[in-house]
């Protein structure tokens, strides 16, 4: 049977486990730029294993396109595993720091209240501004930014989306696909 692919465009997150060696990020990133795809966000950090980094790359596309990029990623020698997660199968979070204009007492009170409603924190204060830190999914960040924009936003920085699979499965799980990719690296 030929494989069938979901043709609906949606946001996928590719979780990529790689050896922590120089050039890994550009090797992975070029697979996207080569096809002219725009990365929504890219986050890299340590994993729970030594000398191993974990990347989370968010991208909007259809399943076939994501599958092809994941295939090229998996083939890289530095890549140990790739997991493609969509909204249904994963929990996704991002951190945003938002600097808001709050020059008078009223504005400050309102911003603080808004932050409380969203369970966000005030992490910096000056005579003219407040900086709000929020942790949550993309929709929550967007909603908070929407509310705070009334006061005047000076700047925003976001981490981009990190994701982890729901339930028991992990990126380390062995499966036939992983074995098949490792075959090509196996005789190393």
Q: Give the residues lining the site for another protein (CB under 8 A).
A: 1-3, 19, 22-23, 26-27, 30, 34, 49, 51-52, 67-68, 71-72, 74-75, 77, 80, 174, 176-177, 179-188
Q: Does residue 131 contact residue 97 with C-beta atoms inside 8 Å?
A: yes
Return the number of the residue (109 or 180) whose C-beta is nearest another protein. 180
DSSP run (H or E) holding 134: strand 129-136
Q: Least separation, in Å, of the C-beta of 100 and another protein?
A: 40
Q: Least separation, in Å, of the C-beta of 30 and another protein?
A: 6
Q: Least separation, in Å, of the C-beta of 32 and another protein?
A: 12
CA distances from 144 to 78, 94, 119, 147, 178 (A): 38, 13, 10, 5, 40
Distance, in Å, from the CA atom of 73 to the CA atom of 95, rounded to the nearest integer, reads: 26
Return the number of the residue (146 or 183) whose C-beta is nearest another protein. 183
Return the number of the residue (83 or 108) whose C-beta is nearest another protein. 83
Distance, in Å, from the CA atom of 63 to the CA atom of 76, rounded to the nearest integer, reads: 20
């Amino acid at each position: 049977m030929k494989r069938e692919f979901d043709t609906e465009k949606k946001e996928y997150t590719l979780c990529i486990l790689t050896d922590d060696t120089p050039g890994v990020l550009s090797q992975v990133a070029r697979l996207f730029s080569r096809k002219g795809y725009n990365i929504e966000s890219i986050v890299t950090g340590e994993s729970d294993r030594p000398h191993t980094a974990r990347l989370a790359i968010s991208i909007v596309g259809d399943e076939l396109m994501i599958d092809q990029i994941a295939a090229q990623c998996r083939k890289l020698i530095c890549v140990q595993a790739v997991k493609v997660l969509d909204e249904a199968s994963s929990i996704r979070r991002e951190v945003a720091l938002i600097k808001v204009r709050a020059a008078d007492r009223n504005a400050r009170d309102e911003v603080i209240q808004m932050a409380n409603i969203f369970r966000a924190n005030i992490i910096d204060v000056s005579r003219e501004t407040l900086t709000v830190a929020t942790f949550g999914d993309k929709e929550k960040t967007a909603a908070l930014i929407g509310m705070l924009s009334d006061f005047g936003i000076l700047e925003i920085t976001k981490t981009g989306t990190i994701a982890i699979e729901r339930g028991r499965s992990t990126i380390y799980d062995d499966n036939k696909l992983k074995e098949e990719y490792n075959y090509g690296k196996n005789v190393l």
